Amino acid sequence: MIEYVLKNGEDLSFAKAFWKECEPHPYELRRYPLYVKVLRLFNGGKSVSEITRATGVNQQSVWSWTTFRQKPKMAHYLAIFLQHGVPRPGRVWLSVNNTPGHAIPLGPVVEVPESISGWNDVSEVLEWLKPLERLDSSLSREYLFGFLVGMVIGDAAKSRERTWHRHIDLVLSKKYRTNKKIGEFTCACARSVGLRMHDVSDQPKKMGKPHGFYEWVSQASPLVDWIFNVLLGLEDNQRTTYDPVRMDWVPACPVDFRRGLVQGIAESDGSVSIASQTVEFWIGPNWDFFKQLLLTFGVKSFRNREALSVTKSQVVKLGAIPAFSPHLRTKRYLRLVKLVSARHIGHGKRIPNEIRNFLMDNCAEASVPRLSEMVLDRFGIALSFEAVQRWRGRGESLDNANRAARDPE
């Protein structure tokens, strides 16, 4: 450290070897020249009191700096630079963990690309990142990371307060119990790449909402910034809610990563309609990106209003991915399984009498979507929305006629 400072003085060019050039606060930029001056005077044999008088730095700081018990933020980065050297072209060093406030790097230090040209750029980063716990051997790291990135594109907020690093904040409704499994699994995916993430106190019911909310939060880390800026290709002032991701490199990625990505997005923003026999993904403004991602699995889709829709002829292909996680077995996944395995009444064929009677008998008990699912559960047959609506309407007409006959007034 002293040798480098004697040779290079206040030169901060080493900062270019790090993510966003160490993101120094102006205070730290003023502090580093003082640190250099203190070390130079110390190397010249000056005492602590003499150095204090010459620099204006208090004696406690002079003592801790010259004994290397403490140092300013930029000197911490210099120490890492002296240990790791210059990164490869197009890459920088990034510290996964940092202290709050001035964000002193705590490591581990990983080498990350400043842009993504292909899967190798991503896989090399995964090699650097060490899991915080033992992984489920049935799930690859490529899949886990893909699922995490999918959740980041979808439901998870990527908050950044002031100049601090981003963290992942996932809030899911308590309406479905399986949402808790989604949150816990997302935490496991985050920990698989060295990010701490855990549940926090549940949120209460909000105005007009019948259910409360689960919540999970990750640590704030430059790694989350890197995922947002480099993997998703977004600027700091952009948001996934309004700005499309730029991830042209994804179609050439391994199938496990792409499958995890699909399932992370689907568990965030997907819905399955038995009545219309469609699966919809409410992923605006990322319609084009997700359409191309599904095409890598041979699934064709089209934009319908604000959603990307997959209809009858493509649902079986969607089930082969599968679009929702079999590991989590959410309500969406189970509905997709039903839809994929359903039988259909051929064009021009009549609906069996027992199904007609079932629809008319239950017309007062359920809506068209609910009746559609009841028919599928009982008979294993998927009927079109129009067919269910037609026979439900006949049942209502029959009920009205019977009531009128009983009460002619």
Q: What's the first-to-final CA gap in the chain, in angstroms? A: 100
pLDDT digits (tens, 9 = 90+) for 73-87: 999 999 999 999 999
Interatomic CA distance for residues 341 and 128, integer angstroms: 42
pLDDT band with cut points at 50, 70 and 90 for residue 160: low
- Do the bridges between strand 105-113 and strand 157-159 make them parallel or antiparallel, or are there none, so unpaired? unpaired
Interatomic CA distance for residues 371 and 274, integer angstroms: 9
Question: Shortest CA distance to 185 belongs to which of 160, 158, 213, 156?
Answer: 156
What mean pLDDT do residues 35-42 have?
A: 96
Interatomic CA distance for residues 170 and 157, integer angstroms: 6
Quote the pLDDT of residue 163: 62
Which amino acid makes up residue 138?
S
Quote the pLDDT of residue 42: 95
Quote the pLDDT of residue 401: 47
pLDDT digits (tens, 9 = 90+) for 252-303: 999 999 999 999 999 999 999 998 999 999 998 999 999 999 999 999 999 9
Measured in degrees and rounded to the nearest 5, phi and psi for residue 306 equal: -95, 5
* Architecture of the domain defined by 141-340: Roll (3.10)
pLDDT digits (tens, 9 = 90+) for 118-146: 999 999 999 999 999 988 889 999 999 99
Q: Which two tokens stand for residue 370?
A: 């609910």
pLDDT digits (tens, 9 = 90+) for 293-348: 999 999 999 998 889 999 988 999 999 999 999 999 999 999 999 999 999 887 77
Q: How many CA atoms lie within 13 A of 379 on its CB side?
A: 20
Higher pLDDT, 403 or 390: 390
The share of the chain scoring above pLDDT 70, in percent, equals 94
Quote the pLDDT of residue 159: 66
In contact, 35 and 75? CB cutoff 8 Å: yes
In contact, 222 and 165? CB cutoff 8 Å: yes
Three-state SS sequence of the chain = CHHHHHHHCCCCHHHHHEHHHHCCCHHHHHHHHHHHHHHHHHHCCCCHHHHHHHHCCCHHHHHHHHCCCCCCHHHHHHHHHHHHCCCCCCEEEEEEEECCCCCCEEEEEEEEECCCCCHHHHHHHHHHCCCCCCCCCCCCHHHHHHHHHHHHHCCCEEECCCCCCCEEEEEEECCCCHHHHHHHHHHHHHHCCCCCEEECCCECCCCCCCCCEEEEEECCCHHHHHHHHHHCCCCCCCCCCCCCCCCCCHHHCCHHHHHHHHHHHHHHHEEEECCCCEEEECCCCCHHHHHHHHHCCCCCCEEECCEEEECHHHHHHHHHCCCCCCCCCCHHHHHHHHHHHCECCCCCCCCCHHHHHHHHHCCCCCCHHHHHHHHHHHHCECCCHHHHHHHHHHHHHHHHHHHHHHCCC
Quote the pLDDT of residue 395: 63
Q: Where are the domains of the chain?
A: 2-127, 141-340, 353-406
Residues across the chain: 409
pLDDT band with cut points at 50, 70 and 90 for residue 397: low
pLDDT digits (tens, 9 = 90+) for 169-196: 999 988 888 899 999 999 999 999 999 9
Q: What's the pTM value of the predicted model, to 2 decimals?
A: 0.90
Quote the pLDDT of residue 408: 52
Interatomic CA distance for residues 264 and 270, integer angstroms: 10
Cα of 239 vs its chain's centroid, Å: 13
Cis peptide before 204 (omega within 30 of 0): no
Mean of pLDDT over the chain: 90
